[in-house]
Amino acid sequence: MRLAAMAILAVLAAGSALGAVVEQNDPFLWLEDVHGEKPLGWVAEQNAKSAAALKADPRYARNYDQILEVMDATDRIPYASLKQGFAFNLWQDAANPKGLWRRTTIADYQSATPKWETLLDIDRLSKDEGKSWVFKGGACTPDLTRCLVSLSPGGGDAVVVREFDMATKAFVKDGFALAEAKSSTAWVDNNTVLFATDFGKGSLTASGYPRIVKVWRRGETLEAAKTVFEGKVTDVGVELASFQSPDGTVPVIFNAPSFFETEYYTLLPDLSALKIPLPLSAQVQGITKGQMLVTLRQDWAQQDGQTPIPKGSLIAFPIQSYLRTRMFPHAKVLFTPDARSSIEQVAAGRDAAYVTILHNVTASVHAFRPTADGWSDSKLDLPEGGSASIASANSFGPEAEFSFESFLTPPTLYHDAGDDHPHAIKSLPARFDASGLVSEQFEAISKDGTKIPYFVVR
């Protein structure tokens, strides 16, 4: 929905002759006013029609109650994000519909009943401030002393950003803060923030997203923040990230000229933006051991005359070496999919790059580790024949966690201490009796010889 709306807005605002014709002739253009009284009234009317049709089905009440029971179940897996020695989780249930942002130690998280430390009660905050806050994340400094908490009034793209003190569990008075807007932020260090927001007329792209990036030092006024990057009005917009590890912090500016193209810049010590020599088809996934993990949407020849790296590949770009020397380094290929495989997910840990690979529509997780002459590849010992995914990888420690489920196996969380031997630590209870059932995978062959995988559960 968000990408579609952004695409439509970008086309309409481009000012082309075709856009002018569309604006004159499209009888539904008024629906583009996503906050307008008339469009919202129309949406409410359509929702009422759909709800009436659904509720007329005699199964509706039973199905609704069953789904709500599962969604509010207290025996759900509290999936967590690992950082330093902690596991962070946002927990929502019937008593806490907006959620508790909380943490526990990684060691305690593996127990059946972790002792959670509540950081921020979103329901209480909403009640105290008379706002329907939706938690959109907390991005923390490497030492976990401060975090930038994003709160949306109602769940939309626009957020309020506030600095949060982890020791006092309170928002920082006169700390970094941004008013409601479609903002993006990233830590440069404990006292410096990179941010993009609505700075007023002309500061947004035609899609309605920020295009100007500034750097803000603690103690400065917002108005004193220095501009370090400006995208074009015709771009989709900019996003910011801070890749943190024991090797340091690499802030990155993602500028999207279109929906399938991205330019990457990083911030130098003199606060200037340096473009990273990656193709527009690149998708940066993280940084491990000074290597920027990148997947490719299109073939890429690093230099003229070189054999292109095939699209879909995962490569390691030596970002730390490039920042030191400014010499174009050669990226190394970690994995190239074949005709029946693809990369589904990439996560950067402190010591390894974890990659979910789909082969014949079933998933496995691999750990790629840098060696003296390349990268090693270890397929992790997880169950087969289902859906495996990376739950989290600790960028400051050896730990990683993975999830597996299949048609007959409920979601199960596995913990890996860094030795590439994950073990199950949590699982959802079975919601139905799977005894006596088997799941088998077969292939149908189409007229052109293509083998199409399918499953039979019996």
Contacts for 65 with CB less than 8 Å, ≥ 6 apart: none
Q: Digits of tens for pLDDT over the chain (458 positions)? A: 444 444 433 444 444 444 444 456 899 999 988 779 999 999 999 999 999 999 999 999 999 999 988 888 888 999 999 999 999 999 999 899 999 999 999 999 999 999 999 999 999 999 999 999 999 999 999 999 999 999 999 888 999 999 999 999 999 999 999 999 999 999 999 999 999 999 999 999 999 999 999 999 999 999 999 999 999 999 999 999 999 999 999 999 999 999 999 999 999 999 899 999 999 999 999 999 999 999 999 999 988 778 999 999 999 999 999 999 888 778 999 999 999 999 999 999 999 999 999 999 999 999 999 998 899 999 999 999 999 999 999 999 999 999 999 999 999 999 999 999 999 999 999 989 999 999 999 999 999 999 999 999 99
Q: Which residue has the tokens 């600095």?
A: 163
CB atoms within 10 A of CB 381: 14
Nearest-angstrom CA–CA distance, 73 and 78: 11
Q: What is the reported pLDDT for 159?
A: 97
Q: What is the reported pLDDT for 23?
A: 54
Residue 319 parent element (H or E): helix 319-325
- Furthest-apart CA pair in the chain: how many Å? 69
Contacts for 274 with CB less than 8 Å, ≥ 6 apart: 265, 266, 267, 268, 323
Nearest-angstrom CA–CA distance, 215 and 229: 9
Tokens of 60: 């509706």
Q: What is the reported pLDDT for 70?
A: 83
Tokens of 296: 């490719």
How would you classify the pairing of strands 159-165 and 177-181? antiparallel
Nearest-angstrom CA–CA distance, 178 and 196: 10
CB 393 within 8 A of CB 349: yes
